[in-house]
Amino acid sequence: MPTGKIVKALSGFYYVADGDKLVQCRGRGIFRKKKITPLVGDEVVYQAENDKEGYILEIDTRKNELVRPPIANVDQAILVFSAVQPKFNPTLLDRFLTLIEFHRIQPIICISKSDLLTDEERDQMEKYAGDYRNIGYHVFITSMQIDESAEELYPLLRDKITVFAGQSGVGKSTLLNTLHPGLGLETNEISTHLGRGKHTTRHVELIEIQGGLVADTPGFSSLEFIDMEVEDMNYCFPEIHHYSQQCKFRGCTHMAEPKCAVKDAVALDKIKQYRYDDYVSFVEEIKDRKPRY
């Protein structure tokens, strides 16, 4: 049986790329009975009725999957955040990073619209960028033109499935249009009344760019830690996980326990206070979450 990768899902059809062929498929009825939905990014076995139509028979095991946007087997996520309009929000970035880390996806941070900053604001943004680079994240700071950033991103895309995510109206579609001239994705300006942009994408599709596959997605419509437990949070903050190996008590949550190496690192500014505060806030959010039945 032939195999391929789902590169587009639209109106109940799944478009499977098999070499140079693109086969429009439907899912077997057994998927509905088992409440399994094929996702963009899935490696599948399909049965072809002809060169252009067929049915998906099997879905290979996924290494990860996202619900919003619905996509599987993602290698990396480029998180696009604006410096202004909307204003850079490190807590919101940390929320995105936490969710991406939880799904074992490599994050890349892209801060757009830097040319709109004052000198003082630019200094602050460079400090934030330095903090995240010290953690180990790849950080780009781009202008409204973002041409230089595109050149830097090209080698990172090869042989990867990449998702773009971040706040609405920060330039995700603009960056994709720059990465792939002629793509012609619709872009919208920020609403001056709401202070946020409108989602301009309507479905998930993988686009070949520089030897990799890139998804233009609507971004995360939900940023809740639905499937996470308190112990997961330790692994989603790399610098906290690093120092946690030195804590006296196994299973330390780095909040109330004595002889906590993480809290010592915060006091010595080896872990940034705002990152630790976000960690504590997210842990409390999980603790306060209503149990599911």
Q: For residue range 134-187, what is the model confidence (pLDDT) as tens digits? A: 999 999 888 766 556 667 788 889 999 998 888 766 667 777 777 777 666 665
Mean pLDDT of 83-101: 92
Exposure class string for 244-283: b at 16+ Cβ within 10 A, else e = beebeeeebbbeeeeebbbbebbeeeebbeebbebbeebb
Q: Which of 208, 198, 125, 191 is nearest to 168 (CA)?
A: 198
Q: According to CATH, where is 3.40.50.300 located in the chain?
A: 71-215
Residue 281 has pLDDT above 90, yes or no: yes
State the Cα–Cα distance between residues 190 and 24, nearest whole angstrom.
36
Q: Which CATH class is domain 3-60?
A: mainly beta
- Identify residue 8 by its one-letter amino acid code: K
Distance of alpha carbon 49 from alpha carbon 15, whole angstroms: 14
Average the pLDDT over 31-55 and give the result: 90
Q: Is residue 226 very low, low, confident or very high in pLDDT (cuts 50, 70, 90)?
A: confident
Architecture of the structural domain at 230-287: Orthogonal Bundle (1.10)
Domain 71-215 matching CATH 3.30.1360.30: the answer reads no
pLDDT digits (tens, 9 = 90+) for 109-142: 988 888 888 999 999 999 999 999 999 999 988 8
Nearest C-alpha neighbor of 40 from the set 194, 238, 204: 204
CATH 2.40.50.140 domain residues, the chain: 3-60
Q: Where in the chain is the domain with CATH 1.10.40.50?
A: 230-287
Query: Residue range 79-90: average pLDDT?
Result: 88
CA distance 48 to 33: 22
